Amino acid sequence: MARVLVIDDEDLIREMLRKILEIDGHQVIEDANGKIGASLFRENPTDLVVTDILMPEGDGALTIRQLKRDYPDIKIIAISGGGSIADPDTCLSVARRYGALRVFAKPFSKQELLDAVRELIG
């Protein structure tokens, strides 16, 4: 199937996403912040990136912006539960403006994620 990079600062969310994607047959690499995640992508590009937006190090919106600038055809799914500085809709609106092809507010269903992954990777 596809190689997917998952970036989320919450260990449980990252683990859940990894398990869902691996069960569906995808190879997953992961990291807890956008800076390292973007570096991982540059070193070894994946077919798809799934990234949280609000993270303490390496904000997901900036990660999306940088990756889309350097790799215009990159496929990105953005996820967000919001935070103290912004609600999920605001975060995801920014992510979409920066180039995320699909956006999901936490919590989202396993099926929603898999449908988006399958659609984006063909």
Read off the pTM: 0.95
Number of domains observed in the structure of the chain: 1
Where in the sequence is the domain holding 114, given as residue range(s)? 3-121
User: Per-residue pLDDT for 4 more than 70?
Assistant: yes
Averaged pLDDT, 72-96: 89
Kindly report the CATH number assigned to the domain that includes residue 78. 3.40.50.2300
**Which tokens belong to 66?**
């940088």
Task: Give the model's pLDDT for residue 84.
Answer: 60
Peptide bond preceding 72 in cis form (omega within 30 of 0): no
Residues belonging to the chain: 122
pLDDT digit string, tens, across residues 31-47: 999 999 999 999 999 99
Tell me: pLDDT of 82 over 80. Answer: no
